[in-house]
């Protein structure tokens, strides 16, 4: 592919409400079977409030200073020296390559690793990444893990026990304090706290030594890396980043980490024993996972897009320079302050950037329903001669068919707009690319 000029990269991170989550349909399909849990939980709602903040030890901490002498720092420095931009990127479209990039960054880190994610499953992919983080902490690396609490049930014990290791901190965003063990029980026992728990953090980020980072759409789990045995595997896209954009990502992580919405896991989940026993339990659990399941998504001709792990091992990264701005939802959105007022959010930023574009807007989204405002924006783009391209799921490939009901309410047939269905595996990530003009206004 020939690129005549580097694009403006808009790296967006944000939260959304449970009601907007594609997987929610599956949760509520089980509600009829679990109504008894809700009935029982009515008597427990008094126990479902958050702990007294003053009783929970959660010291503030911030990203480490950019090192000059770590292996990853030298790799990033050499890569940036080849280009004329302050930031540089490599797309990670191949799932296996994206996962190995995460593992390689954690394995090479010498100062710090910050992991922020919406979902971390307790399957092979999630467990082996946690094992790598434990090993990093054993080398003296500071490890901070920030995870939304909605989907922690399968990895809860692993995360709790990992927090017993020296140099590791685990915090839960907007935690559930009633019944635990599954999403369904969490939601049903929190029916009287929906104003709080109905706002979740979807940011996905891993930063190593504050010099290299992976940002994008993939959660942590077998299904996000084409290794789920049940066939539910999702197409997604991440990017490896270097330069000043990485420090912007770290600043966003710090804002969430030090917020009132991030709670140390030991303050929410009762520790399973003494620290030494928890460490031993973690070690036993991760040693049971010998290797990853088979990769169901690698085609030979796509391997050319999975070179990042090998480049990291050799210390010779080939990146593309670009002007970039990292945008994240303000952390107070987790308290519902932005409902009806999108100012300062990723959604608002992308809307402004799209309207400011003078050449092309390319959007990838698993659930694409632009609504009335979106349709008007698209019409304005077309009137200004801007090319619009949209890649989204077909009805056959979507994990949330109800989304397509939105197409009955709003339609767009403007010439020049291209909408393409994905393959049956299904898209899960979201991204927008606008040409340089979009960020100049």
Model confidence, pTM: 0.85
pLDDT band per the 50, 70, 90 thresholds, residue 434: very low
Helices 346-356 and 371-383, packing angle to 10 deg: 20
DSSP reduced 3-state for 326: strand
Angle of the 95-108 helix axis to the 124-138 helix axis, nearest 10: 20
Count how many domains the chain has.
Answer: 2
Residue-level pLDDT at 177:
87
Question: What whole-number percentage of the chain has pLDDT above 90?
Answer: 56
Higher-pLDDT residue of 57, 254: 254
Choose the weakest-confidence range: 51-60, 117-126, 356-365, 406-415: 406-415
Per-residue pLDDT, averaged over 9-13, amounts to: 51
Task: Kindly report, residue by residue over 128-168, the tens digit of the pLDDT.
Answer: 999 999 999 999 999 999 999 999 999 999 999 999 999 99
Same domain, 361 and 289: no
User: Does 53 fall in a domain?
Assistant: yes
In a domain, 3, yes or no: no
Lowest-pLDDT range, 143-147, 234-238, 245-249, 315-319? Answer: 234-238
Per-residue confidence (pLDDT) for residue 409, from 0 to 100 = 55
Q: Is 417 exposed, middle or buried (0-12, 13-18, 19+ CB in 10 A)?
A: middle
Confidence of residue 31 (pLDDT cuts 50, 70, 90): very low
Q: Which of 267, 297, 314 is the last residue of a domain?
A: 314
pLDDT, one tens digit per residue, over 57-112 is 899 999 999 999 999 999 999 999 999 899 999 999 999 999 999 999 999 999 99
Residue range 170-195: average pLDDT?
A: 85
- Examine the fold and report which residue of 314, 329, 348 is the final residue of a domain before the chain moves on: 314
Provide mean pLDDT across the span 6-19. 46
Residue 337: pLDDT over 90: no
DSSP state of 348: H
Specify the CATH number for the domain of residue 149: 3.30.870.10
Cβ atoms 317, 242 nearer than 8 A: yes
Residue 67 counted as domain residue? yes
Q: Which domain holds residue 216?
A: 15-314
pLDDT tier at 427, thresholds 50, 70, 90: low
Specify if 321 maps to a domain.
Answer: no
Domain identity same for 307 and 362: no
* pLDDT average, residue stretch 419-436: 46
Beta carbons of 180 and 270 less than 8 angstroms apart: no
Helix H or strand E encompassing 253: helix 244-257
Identify the band that residue 49 occupies on the pLDDT scale cut at 50, 70 and 90: confident
Cβ-contact 264, 149 below 8 angstroms: no
Locus of tokens 């079977």 = 33
Asked if the structure places residue 119 within a domain, the reply is yes
Lowest mean per-residue pLDDT among 3-7, 189-193, 197-201 = 3-7
**Mean predicted lDDT score pLDDT of the chain:** 83
Q: At what angle do helices 124-138 and 275-287 cross, to 10 degrees?
A: 130
In a domain, 4, yes or no: no
Residue 367 confidence class, pLDDT cut points 50, 70, 90:
confident
Between 193 and 85, name the one with better pLDDT: 85
**pLDDT of the residue at 217:** 92
Distance CA 20, CA 359 (A): 31
Residues 108 and 151 in one domain: yes
Residues 206 and 85 in one domain: yes
């Amino acid at each position: 592919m020939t690129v005549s000029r580097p694009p403006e990269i808009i790296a967006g991170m944000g939260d959304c409400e449970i009601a907007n989550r594609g997987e929610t349909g599956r949760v509520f399909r089980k509600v009829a079977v679990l109504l008894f849990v809700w009935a029982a939980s009515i008597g427990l709602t008094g126990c479902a409030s958050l702990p007294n903040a003053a009783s929970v030890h959660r010291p503030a901490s911030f990203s480490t200073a950019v090192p000059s002498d770590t292996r990853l720092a030298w790799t990033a420095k050499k890569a940036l020296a080849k280009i004329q931009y302050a930031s540089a990127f490599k797309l990670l479209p191949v799932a296996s390559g994206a996962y190995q990039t995460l593992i390689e960054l954690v394995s090479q880190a010498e100062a710090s690793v910050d992991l922020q994610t919406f979902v971390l499953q307790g399957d092979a992919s999630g467990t082996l990444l946690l094992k790598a983080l434990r090993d990093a902490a054993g080398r003296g690396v500071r490890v901070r893990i920030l995870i939304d609490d909605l989907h922690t049930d399968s990895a809860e014990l692993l995360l709790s026990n990992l927090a017993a290791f020296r140099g590791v901190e685990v915090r839960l965003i907007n935690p559930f304090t009633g019944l635990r063990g599954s999403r369904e029980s969490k939601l049903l026992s929190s029916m009287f706290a929906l104003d709080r728990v109905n706002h979740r953090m979807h940011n996905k980020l891993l930063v190593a030594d504050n010099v290299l980072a992976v940002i994008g759409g993939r959660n942590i789990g077998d299904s996000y890396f084409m290794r789920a045995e049940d066939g539910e595997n999702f197409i997604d896209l991440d990017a490896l980043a270097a330069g000043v954009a990485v420090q912007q990502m770290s600043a966003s992580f710090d804002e969430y980490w030090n917020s009132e919405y991030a709670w140390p896991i030991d303050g929410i989940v009762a520790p399973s024993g003494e620290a030494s026993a928890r460490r031993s339990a973690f070690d036993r659990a991760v040693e049971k996972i010998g290797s990853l399941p088979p990769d169901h998504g690698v085609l030979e001709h796509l391997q050319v897009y999975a070179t990042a792990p090998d480049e990291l091992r050799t210390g010779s990264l080939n990146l593309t320079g670009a002007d970039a701005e990292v945008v994240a939802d303000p952390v107070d959105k987790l308290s519902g302050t932005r409902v009806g007022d999108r100012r300062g959010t990723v959604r608002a930023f992308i809307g402004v950037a799209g309207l400011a574009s003078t050449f092309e807007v390319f959007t990838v989204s698993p659930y694409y329903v632009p609504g009335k405002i979106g349709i008007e924006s698209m019409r304005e783009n077309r009137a200004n001669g801007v090319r619009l391209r949209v890649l989204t799921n077909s009805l056959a490939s979507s994990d949330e068919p109800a989304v397509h009901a939105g197409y009955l309410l709003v339609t767009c047939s403007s010439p020049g707009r291209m909408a393409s269905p994905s393959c049956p595996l299904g898209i899960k990530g979201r991204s927008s690319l606008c040409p340089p003009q979009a960020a100049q206004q």
